[in-house]
Amino acid sequence: MLLYNLITLLCVCLMNDVCKALSVHPLKTLVVFDSRLTSLQDHSEFLQSLENRDHELVFEQVDHEDFDPQFYFLSEDEHSNLYDNMIIFPIKTKRGSSSLTSSKLLKFYENGGDVLAITSPVGVTDPVRLFLNQLSIYPAPKGYILRDYFNASDEKKNTFAIAGSDSLNDYVFNSSSDAELVYSKGSSALLGSSDLLVPILKAPSTSLNKNVNDEEWTIGSQGYLIAAFQNLKNARMTWVGSDKFFANGLYESNNKAFIEELTKWTFREKSVIKVNGAKHYHADKTSYEELPYKTTDEVVYEILLSEFKDNKWIPYEGTDVQFELKMIDPYYRLTMNAEENVGESKKFTTGVFKLPDHHGVFTFQVDYKRPGLTYVESKSTHAIRNLAHTEYPRSWEITNARVYLCSIFAVIGLWLVFVVAFIATSKKVVNKPTAASKKNN
């Protein structure tokens, strides 16, 4: 019995390790849909691909007669999520508006939940639209449809091909791919100016997004078909303007590779980096604890970075990792050099550099933020003291001071020469006898 329990425990641990290896966080995913707009059967291949990646899918049909408008995806205090990810298909009904509000969606996202929001010209519900607006993504209102009158493949001009090489972010989808994507019966969005936005796919330059009254929302490449947002907690939200983009007919024939990479990125199954350690020390390997820093000391800073790729952690290969030494503003900003691999990490180092000739409390920091990668920040604060009186270089060690030292000794030397010369060349004074002295004699 004991052996059986041990084997069972071992199997459970191994299964947990395998599941954890597929993403940096669990994969319990809530799927919210409206059956009047979205048939799960028509999207079965997409959903099956998620299950093949160990996503635990939980479905909420908002138009079902048994649907509870008070369904919960947040804890009672709203400080934690009941699900790790959320997929929102186009929704038409207002029955879920009491729970699926923009504020609760934003809270779910702020708590670290990843969101895939899918809209369509007939399914842009207000809570989802307002949620997207708060992230600087402005999808076209209901009734607007994207058409391409030059390159469309159907009579209604709303189905057209896009080259996979048009991907705007290689961390999401490699733009060197020769895949051809098909975008059908969708819409586009305008993007704000937030630095946290991750544009992924632009609308074709020959496209036009308008409604039946010919009112335009976007023209040409002004609009975006797919865009994302990554907050400072590294939670990700991706918006796609067409539910047909995920449908079986287009999924297997054209869009499969792109959608798999897109959803892997959205649910943090790729393009995730982390810090496995950071340290700094004197150039002679002495630590700060052993000998606190003083101005102009020579020091070295090192950091270990890993990337989650292909279901495992590997050394991160980057060429633009920078180190900052800052008080209020950076005193130094140094590009770090990649060195050897340390286990699953890559070691980056500044090499030896000299601390500034300024004492105070400084921050040793790596703040690495690149669109498409999770944000990395590692910092520590330490005091750099000024030099003690006996630690300043002597005057004869300072090159510029030697002119003045020579001047001083030259003046002293010349004065001595003058005194000697004056004494040597002066006339001797002879005392002549006076009349009084002669009379006495």
- Per-residue confidence (pLDDT) for residue 441, from 0 to 100: 56
- What is the helix (H) or strand (E) element at residue 36, kind and residue range? none
314-328 average pLDDT score: 95
- Per-residue confidence (pLDDT) for residue 440, from 0 to 100: 63
Asked if the model's pLDDT at residue 178 lies above 90, the reply is no
Asked if the model's pLDDT at residue 259 lies above 80, the reply is yes
- Per-residue confidence (pLDDT) for residue 207, from 0 to 100: 93
Asked if the model's pLDDT at residue 20 lies above 70, the reply is no
pLDDT > 90: what percent of the chain? 71
Residue 131, classed as helix, strand or coil, is: helix
Asked if the model's pLDDT at residue 412 lies above 70, the reply is yes
Asked if the model's pLDDT at residue 437 lies above 80, the reply is no
166-187 average pLDDT score: 90
**Full-model pTM:** 0.84
Query: Which residue shows structure tokens 């800052």?
Result: 326
Asked if the model's pLDDT at residue 400 lies above 90, the reply is no
Least confident of 267-271, 352-356, 372-376, 385-389: 385-389
Asked if the model's pLDDT at residue 135 lies above 50, the reply is yes
| Residue 371 confidence class, pLDDT cut points 50, 70, 90 | very high
Cα separation, 58 vs 41, whole angstroms = 15
Cα separation, 386 vs 392, whole angstroms = 10
Asked if the model's pLDDT at residue 180 lies above 50, the reply is yes
- Per-residue confidence (pLDDT) for residue 203, from 0 to 100: 95
Long-range CB pairs of 329-338, under 8 A, 24+ apart, other chains included: 331/356, 331/358, 331/362, 332/356, 336/301, 336/303, 336/366
| Residue 145 confidence class, pLDDT cut points 50, 70, 90 | very high
27-32 average pLDDT score: 95
**Bridge partners of residue 115, in order along the sequence:** 86, 237
Asked if the model's pLDDT at residue 413 lies above 50, the reply is yes
| Residue 429 confidence class, pLDDT cut points 50, 70, 90 | low
| Residue 96 confidence class, pLDDT cut points 50, 70, 90 | low
Cα separation, 129 vs 187, whole angstroms = 13
CATH code, residues 272-388: 2.70.50.60
Asked if the model's pLDDT at residue 2 lies above 60, the reply is no
Asked if the model's pLDDT at residue 370 lies above 90, the reply is yes
- Per-residue confidence (pLDDT) for residue 287, from 0 to 100: 95
Cα separation, 313 vs 307, whole angstroms = 5
Asked if the model's pLDDT at residue 297 lies above 50, the reply is yes
332-338 average pLDDT score: 96
Amino acid identity of residue 328, one-letter, is I
Least confident of 49-53, 54-58, 162-166, 184-188: 162-166
Compute CA distances 147 → 139, 153, 217, 343, whole Å.
15, 11, 12, 51
| Selected residue with higher pLDDT from 12 and 70 | 70
Residue 421, phi then psi, degrees to nearest 5:
-65, -40
Domain ranges of the chain: 22-266, 272-388, 393-425
Cα separation, 341 vs 107, whole angstroms = 39
CATH code, residues 22-266: 3.40.50
pLDDT > 70: what percent of the chain? 90
